[in-house]
């Protein structure tokens, strides 16, 4: 899973996982359920391009927060084995979210290519762009305007590269990636994956590093909570 960033800019179209809390994975710690009892109706998100997807953002985000909160509570109570299991559940849930949004990797792919384009020939660039085009096809379903802008940008990238202006090609690609980031919102599932791995590593040590594990889980929780709160704030 790749580490994703998220934007504070309210999007015209919401791109988030269609993953609901119901039936996903059992939440065992009492603390995990706190703060998740509020009932949200789709009608509250009419300012968003897709109100139904905005509600899914809340449901998915809160479910992930619940799983991470379970792990945090178990770490605090000294139940290390159970905490490891809860962290694995959190990773699996985050991975499920990402699998429903395969196009989420497009931003990082574009940034990677933008850094390499200066040193590559046009043939190599064209090959690097193939998976990006595939991701844009998936993005088309959720954010058609963004997808069309991105396709136009990729044409400009190839044009500049063919003309020998690789620096401009790199800039256009980076700008297109930024446009996707600013125009869509998604849960930072890649970041959650990284932090849960850090926490698991800390707990798997011969003498579990509880402080490091707790810190990593807190970072993961903060990242998801920030996004969920931004979605809520933008419609209140």
- The domain that holds 77 is classified in CATH as 1.20.120
119 in the same domain as 54: no
Shared domain check, 178 and 109: yes
Residues making up the chain, counted from first to last: 236
pLDDT tens digits, one per residue of 55-111: 766 788 899 999 999 999 999 999 999 999 999 999 999 888 777 665 667 887 898
Q: Does one domain contain both 107 and 178?
A: yes
Total number of domains constituting the chain: 2
Is 18 within a domain? no
DSSP one-letter code for 40: -
Q: Quick one: 167 and 109 in the same domain?
A: yes
Is 17 part of any domain? Answer: no
What range does the domain containing 110 cover? 103-183
154: pLDDT strictly greater than 50: yes
Q: 89 burial class (0-12, 13-18, 19+ CB within 10 angstroms)?
A: buried
Residue 10 forms part of a structural domain: no
If asked whether residues 148 and 134 sit together in one domain, one would say: yes
Residue 103 corresponds to which tokens in the numbers above?
């196009």
Domain contains 52: yes
19 in any annotated domain: no
Average pLDDT score over residue span 203-216? 97
Instruction: Answer whether residue 79 is part of any domain.
Output: yes
Is residue 23 assigned to a domain?
no
Helices (H) and strands (E) in the chain, counts: 8, 0
Q: What is the pLDDT of residue 63?
A: 93
**pLDDT tens-digit series, residues 10-54:** 333 334 433 333 333 333 333 333 333 344 444 444 445 455 666
- 56 with 84, same domain: the answer is yes
Would you say 95 and 25 are in contact if contact means Cβ atoms under 8 Å apart? no
Query: Of 183, 201, 222, which residue is a domain's last?
Result: 183
Q: Are residues 107 and 175 in the same domain?
A: yes
pTM of the shown model: 0.60
Mean of the per-residue pLDDT values for the chain? 76
């Amino acid at each position: 899973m790749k580490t994703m960033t998220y934007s504070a800019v309210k999007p015209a179209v919401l791109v988030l996982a269609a993953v609901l809390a119901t039936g996903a994975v059992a939440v065992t710690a009492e603390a995990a359920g706190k703060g998740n009892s509020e009932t949200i109706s789709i009608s509250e998100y009419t300012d968003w391009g897709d109100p139904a997807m905005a509600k899914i953002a809340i449901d998915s985000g809160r479910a992930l927060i619940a799983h991470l909160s379970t792990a945090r509570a178990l770490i605090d109570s000294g139940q290390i084995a159970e905490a490891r299991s809860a962290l694995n559940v959190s990773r699996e849930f985050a991975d499920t979210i990402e699998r429903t949004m395969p196009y989420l990797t497009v931003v990082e792919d574009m940034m990677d290519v933008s850094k390499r384009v200066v040193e590559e020939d046009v043939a190599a660039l064209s090959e690097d762009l193939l998976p990006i085009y595939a991701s844009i096809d998936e993005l088309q379903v959720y954010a058609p305007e963004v997808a069309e802008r991105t396709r136009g940008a990729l044409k400009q990238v190839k044009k500049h590269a063919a003309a020998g202006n690789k620096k401009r090609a790199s800039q256009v690609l980076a700008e297109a990636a930024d446009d996707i980031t600013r125009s869509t919102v998604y849960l930072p599932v890649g970041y959650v994956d990284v932090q849960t791995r850090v926490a698991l590593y800390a707990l798997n040590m011969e003498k579990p590093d509880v402080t490091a594990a707790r810190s990593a889980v807190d970072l993961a929780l903060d990242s998801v909570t920030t996004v969920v709160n931004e979605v809520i704030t933008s419609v209140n």
